[in-house]
């Protein structure tokens, strides 16, 4: 078993760190709100640290799941950052969805210190984290990934290296681009059917096993039709992710016309007060 630090105990990180402890790893946690780290430690038998540096000391692996580029940089860099506490040869594994640019910059800084770095954003939402069945998209040196993969397996349904550092973040962007289009299509179909006098749930029972089927259709159609939008990934987070996608698309010259449009639809949902609703709330926008 490994000595692991976990930085960030949000709706994803809290259960992910828990799975590491259940798997037998020795886990030290850090969270900006120290009381939350203490709560986790009391529940799981781990240790709560007051700084990322303290958490990372002597760890074989340092996992992070924070908010955005700035949050990630803050837990890595500086006198109290994780890099300052990590031992040469240790591997930093980043589960945050961030830009490939900050990923590559931090990986280079880590490499200069003799550290490994694996970008490993996840998909599966809060339920996937709680149930330990996340999909993990990784980029990094093959050796670093090979060492980290058995640890990541504590909360992963599938984990795969897709190339050099930054590849995991690009794969996560592709994931979010796909989801945005699927949710909008599902929302339109459900509202169209309702206006036409159809029983949407009955129709989905028929079509979900065919070419139109998707995870979104199977898992979200019923709650969408019931007007319940407190399941899963928040609109605020999706807009953050789509912003990364659109910025990267501009940099590499890749057109994302549908993604750009749906990003604005999510902005409409935010303006409706739905920033904390889950992404299936695109249906509510059609009622405006």
Catalytic residue list: 172
Distances (CA, A) of 242 to 127, 146, 237, 267: 21, 30, 9, 11
Where does the chain have alpha helices with state H?
A: 13-22, 34-44, 52-56, 69-76, 82-85, 100-112, 125-131, 142-152, 167-195, 200-207, 215-225, 235-252, 257-271, 282-285
What residues are paired with 234 via a beta bridge? Answer: 278
Q: What are phi and psi of 199, to 5 degrees?
A: -85, 105
Angle at 259 between CA 9 and CA 105, to 5 degrees: 50
Q: Which residues contact 229 (CB under 8 A, 6 or more apart)?
A: 223, 274, 277, 278, 280, 281, 284
Q: What are phi and psi of 42, to 5 degrees?
A: -65, -35
What is the distance, to the nearest Å, from the Cα of residue 254 to the centroid of all Cα atoms in its chain?
Answer: 23
Q: Are 136 and 122 in contact (CB under 8 A)?
A: yes
């Amino acid at each position: 078993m490994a000595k692991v630090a976990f930085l960030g105990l949000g709706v994803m990180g809290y259960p992910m760190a828990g799975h590491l402890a259940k798997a037998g790893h020795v886990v030290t946690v850090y969270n900006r709100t120290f009381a939350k780290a203490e709560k986790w430690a009391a529940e799981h038998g781990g240790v709560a640290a007051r700084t990322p540096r303290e958490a990372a000391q002597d760890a074989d692996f340092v996992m992070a799941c924070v908010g955005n580029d700035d949050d990630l940089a803050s837990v890595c860099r500086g006198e109290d950052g994780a890099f300052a506490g990590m031992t040469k040869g240790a591997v930093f594994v980043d589960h945050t969805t961030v830009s490939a640019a900050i990923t590559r910059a931090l990986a280079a800084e880590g490499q200069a210190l003799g550290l490994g770095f694996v970008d490993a954003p996840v998909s599966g939402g809060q339920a996937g984290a709680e149930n330990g069945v996340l999909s993990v998209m990784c980029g990094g040196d093959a050796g670093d990934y090979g060492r980290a993969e058995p640890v990541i397996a504590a909360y992963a349904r599938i984990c795969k290296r897709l190339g050099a550092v930054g590849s995991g973040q690009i794969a996560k962007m592709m994931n979010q681009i796909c989801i945005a289009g699927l949710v909008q299509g599902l929302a339109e179909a459900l509202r169209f059917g309702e206006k036409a006098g159809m029983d949407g749930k009955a129709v989905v029972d028929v079509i979900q096993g065919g070419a139109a089927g998707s995870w979104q259709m199977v898992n979200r159609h019923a709650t969408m039709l019931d007007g319940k939008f407190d399941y899963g990934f928040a609109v605020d987070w999706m807009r953050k992710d789509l912003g990364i996608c659109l910025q990267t698309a501009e940099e590499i010259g890749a057109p994302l016309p549908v993604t750009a449009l749906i990003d604005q639809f999510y902005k409409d949902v935010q303006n409706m007060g739905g920033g904390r609703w889950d992404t299936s709330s695109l249906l509510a926008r059609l009622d405006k």
